[in-house]
Amino acid sequence: MVAAEAGVGVGTVSRVLNGSPQVREATRHRVLAVMTELQYRPSRVATSLSRGTTRAISVFVTFLTRPSVVQRLAGVITVLDAKGYDTVVFNIETAEQRDRHINSLANEAHADGAIIVSLPLARAQLEAIRVRGLPVVVLDAESPGPPRFVVDNTAGGQMATEYLLSLGHRRIAFVGDYSHPDLAFTSAQHRLKGYTVALTLAGIKPDPDLISMMPHSGSAVDPRGMQSALALLDIPRRPTAMFAASDVQAIGLLHAIEERGLRVPEDVSVIGFDDIDAAGLVRLSTIRQPLEESGAIAARKLCELLDGGRPGRRRTVLPLELVARATTSAPTNVSSVNTGATKRQTVPAAAGQRASRPAVRARGPTGGASPSSATHVWREPA
Amino acid sequence: MVAAEAGVGVGTVSRVLNGSPQVREATRHRVLAVMTELQYRPSRVATSLSRGTTRAISVFVTFLTRPSVVQRLAGVITVLDAKGYDTVVFNIETAEQRDRHINSLANEAHADGAIIVSLPLARAQLEAIRVRGLPVVVLDAESPGPPRFVVDNTAGGQMATEYLLSLGHRRIAFVGDYSHPDLAFTSAQHRLKGYTVALTLAGIKPDPDLISMMPHSGSAVDPRGMQSALALLDIPRRPTAMFAASDVQAIGLLHAIEERGLRVPEDVSVIGFDDIDAAGLVRLSTIRQPLEESGAIAARKLCELLDGGRPGRRRTVLPLELVARATTSAPTNVSSVNTGATKRQTVPAAAGQRASRPAVRARGPTGGASPSSATHVWREPA
DNA sequence: ATGAAAGCGCTAACAG
DNA sequence: CTGTTAGCGCTTTCAT
């Protein structure tokens, strides 16, 4: 260590570096002086090697630019940063990337731990990681083994649908996307399931013509997928409400609907899922799941493990809540049907404005199959 | 090295690890066998210490969840990953975080290099980094010293405004936000400047009543700020077009306008800035700047430096282009004025739909003060 | 082709 | 309080 050339031994320099109280002020100052003089920069790597800990966490995300993902990541980074950890981010968009990086996670000593966000892993991969004893926590995926934090997407789909039902809607469409060809997301499927459950419980037979699945959405939504979703508005007895499996899709819908000359929510109600930042911006009704907060929770759990804490419960279900904003209302004109080939609906002259109706919000997740979830509503502060 | 216990010397193990051709197949297999048997995992840290290189890059971003920022980051990560570098991400939201991390960047040997995104640095900080000789590239900020990649925000503001002028608009509002209290962003100011330049060139005196600055927007847009922007629609002789300093604000505007009972673009045109993913989704006209691509470019430049390349040009201006989608059109009713206290405009019965008008796009940045930029337009594929 | 040895920069006993 | 001495796990000559 170069600083040792300045009078003292390496031990003392180390002590100064780590602010050990057992160094005389005089020598400490001398060392400090030499350090700045020599432009000395302690090597993080050497420290890590010596201490056997990197103070770095690997975080795996899928399609980083999706708002829900990046909000989760932000929560993770905030907590990790506060605890003094560096966050190394891996953005997984293909199976190849996933396998390569998960493999390297298991087979190389990189970081002190890992957080895996919205990325389902194969059993073998989970096992490979488990064997290494690397502390891992999983967020938004059902990967058995590490502690994981999830929401009940089926219950969420049910909540959304029941809310629309409670408003008086009977013809409710579902707009989702297929899981990515390589990576196997399942949330949309579960939300769809919740939708069918809710309809069935209400005595309504789910109509396949009211269900539109777009091709997988990488980060942005495929505009062509939006087209096919819009086709739902052209069928006879057009739906009076639409439930989109994500807020991003819902926002796309909102605009497409209005371009079609229809009004939201007067002509058709729209509800999304996630409550990303933009949802509030466009006053979208949605099912809220913790995003930043879920990242923070996962990061805190990992830090616990790193501090020698017990894994605790293997699976934690985070709460969902209905946030009713301005894109949902009772169907204003239940008898509204398409006039055959006429694609565009004339705008009713008396059409009100969206903001005029008070927004409500329901608290707490539904949990079971009870259709009561959408009944206790609460006004949103906004 | 534990694997050495299996017959050979550490040197050989290292050779096997690095796929050196000068190891007999027999021994190689033997070593490999022992490795798996012993569940051996090479230590990235030890390699780094020995080789003197970390294969990791520090990336500093501000308000990670802003779409423009995360798209840039995605571009950075993609390239870095392809080149075999890990990306450690620092999300800076306060001056304290900035100073702490930039300080650590300068005073500790962390990574092999750094990319600083949308974060203006103080001279002293830049100097401290420069002294250390750490390879750095700057993206979307005017920090003199390292190679930097920027766009001409003034020219962009001018482009947007000139486009609206070319459509026939005369009363054009500007909606921006103040720079963050701690971090000093300047893009909105420059875009505002471009706006005033364009108006002035067109012989129009910028009207302070048509300029609305919201409080700084962290990641999400402040809804109250949106209110004050909306107030612009209540003044006598309401503007027929609005230029928002960012797409996020523009999207907020879009919805607020429609809630007010006005139509876009029939009653008021809206143009944004950035061309984030969501802009295409809602068919927002905007000034496109390279986002993912700019991140990729910055990362590639850094890799060049890391490979011993010359810094080259200190400042590279990335191109801007006008993307005309569905939220801008000629003012349909130039004489439209507010009827005094009446806040809501009745929707014209004959109002067309947004998608009916062909979208156009202009190519290339304007560069100078010439008002010709918005003339050569090109249809967008969509 | 491969073993031996030095060293990357730091921490952590262990003596004084 | 502070100097000394072993490593941490890997790469890299230099011999053999």
Position B114: which residue type? A
> Is the pLDDT score of A87 beyond 90?
yes
pLDDT at A347: 34
| Mean confidence (pLDDT) of chain A | 86
Contact B67 A67 (CB under 8 A): yes
Which region among A207-216, A261-270, A345-354, B213-222 has the lowest average model confidence (pLDDT)? A345-354
Minimal-distance CA residue of chain A relative to B97: A81
Structure tokens given for B151: 């766009």
B270 CA to C10 C1' in angstroms comes to 58
Per DSSP, what are the bridge partners of residue B367?
A: none
Please name which of A197, A252, A195 lies closest in space to residue A226, comparing C-alpha atoms.
A252
Q: Find the distance separating the first CA and the last CA of chain B, reported in whole Å.
A: 59
Do residues B137 and B148 lie in contact, with contact meaning Cβ atoms separated by under 8 Å? yes
How far A213 CA sits from the closest chain B CA (Å)? 17
Peptide bond into B371 cis (omega under 30): no
pLDDT at A258 over 60: yes
Provide the pLDDT for residue A228.
Answer: 76
State whether residue B45 sits within 8 Å of chain A by CB.
yes
Residue nearest the C1' of D12 (CA based): B11
Nearest to B39 among A42, A45, A131 (CB): A131
Q: Which two tokens stand for residue B49?
A: 């210490």
- For residue A375, what pLDDT band results from cuts at 50, 70 and 90? very low
Tokens of A343: 């694609």
Of residues B27 and A214, more confidently modeled: B27
Answer whether B44 sits within 8 Å of A252, measured CB to CB.
no
Report the percent of chain B where pLDDT is more than 70: 83
Identify the residue among A65, A100, A214 best suited for mutation to test binding to B, counting B beta carbons within 10 A and taking the highest.
A65
A51: its two tokens: 């201490």
Please list every residue in chain A whose beta carbon sits closer than 8 Å to the beta carbon of residue B281: 220-221, 223, 226, 248, 251-252, 255
Share of chain B above pLDDT 90, in %: 66
Could you tell me if A341 lies within 8 Å of chain B, comparing CB atoms? no
Nucleotide nearest to B26 (CA to C1'): C1
Give the minimum alpha-carbon distance from B350 to chain A in angstroms, rounded to a whole number: 9
Nucleotide closest in space to B25 (CA vs C1'): C1
Average of per-residue pLDDT across B248-254:
93
* Strand D nucleotides within 7 Å of a protein CB: 1-14
Which residue among B91, B255, B382 places its CB closest to the CB of A283? B255
Two tokens, residue A26: 């005089």
Question: What is the arithmetic mean of pLDDT over A251-277?
Answer: 92
Min Cα separation B360/chain A (Å): 17
Distance separating the N- and C-terminal Cα atoms of chain A: 59
The average pLDDT across B186-194 equals 95
Distances (CA, A) of A315 to A52, A248, B216, B311: 30, 27, 39, 50
- The nearest alpha carbon in chain A to B280 belongs to A223
Tell me, what's the pLDDT at A127? Answer: 95
Compare all CA atoms of chain A with the CA of B42 and give the residue at the minimum distance: A108
The pLDDT mean for chain B works out to 86
What chain B residue is nearest to A283 in terms of C-alpha separation?
Answer: B255
Name the residue closest to C14, CA to C1': A11
Cβ burial, residue A300 (10 Å; 0-12/13-18/19+): middle
Mean pLDDT of A92-111: 95
* Spatial separation of the C-alpha atoms in residues B149 and B316, rounded to whole Å: 5
What does the pLDDT look like over B267-315, one tens digit per residue?
A: 999 999 999 999 999 999 999 999 999 999 999 999 999 999 888 899 9
> Strand C: which positions are within 7 A of a protein CB?
1-14
As given in the structure block, the two tokens for residue B272 are 């944004």
Residue pair A245/A187 in contact (Cβ under 8 Å)? The answer is yes
pLDDT of residue A47: 97
DSSP letter, residue B263: -
Report the residue from A44, A74, A131 with minimal CB separation from B64: A74
Tens digits of residue pLDDT in A125-157:
999 999 999 999 999 999 999 999 999 999 999
Q: Which residue of A has its CA nearest to B252?
A: A281
Top pLDDT among A346 and A35 is at: A35
Q: How wide is the angle at C-alpha B34 spanned by C-alphas B30 and B39, nearest 5°?
A: 150
Q: A66 pLDDT exceeds 80?
A: yes
Q: Which two tokens stand for residue A154?
A: 């089926």
Measured between alpha carbons, how far is A59 from A357 in angstroms, rounded to an integer? 42
Best mutation site among B73, B86, B247 for testing chain A: the one with the most A CBs within 10 Å? B86
Question: Which pLDDT band, with edges at 50, 70 and 90, does B224 fall under?
Answer: low
Which region among A240-254, A299-313, A347-361, B17-31 has the lowest average model confidence (pLDDT)? A347-361
Nearest CA in chain A to B93: A78
Q: Which of A293, A227, A249 is nearest to A160 (CA)?
A: A249
- Give residues 228 to 287 of B whose Cβ lies within 8 Å of A: 248, 251-252, 254-255, 258-261, 277-278, 280-283
Residue with tokens 């009076």: A240
How far is residue B352's CA from residue B371's CA, in Å, rounded to a whole number? 30
Upstream peptide bond of A265 is cis (omega within 30 degrees of 0): yes
Q: A-chain residues within 8 Å CB-CB of B218? A: none
Residues A349, B349: C-beta atoms closer than 8 Å: yes
- Taking one residue from A and the other from B, the number of pairs with CB-CB distance under 8 angstroms is 171
Is the torsion defined by CA of A199, A200, A202, A207 positive or negative? Answer: positive
Q: In chain B, which among 96-135 make CB contacts under 8 A with chain A?
A: 97, 107-110, 131-132
Range picked from B9-13, B264-268, B294-298 for highest mean pLDDT: B294-298
Position B37 pLDDT exceeds 70: yes
Please name which of A137, A69, A122 lies closest in space to residue B77, comparing C-alpha atoms. A69
Q: Is B293 on the interface with A (CB under 8 A)?
A: no
Check residue A354 and give its pLDDT. Answer: 40
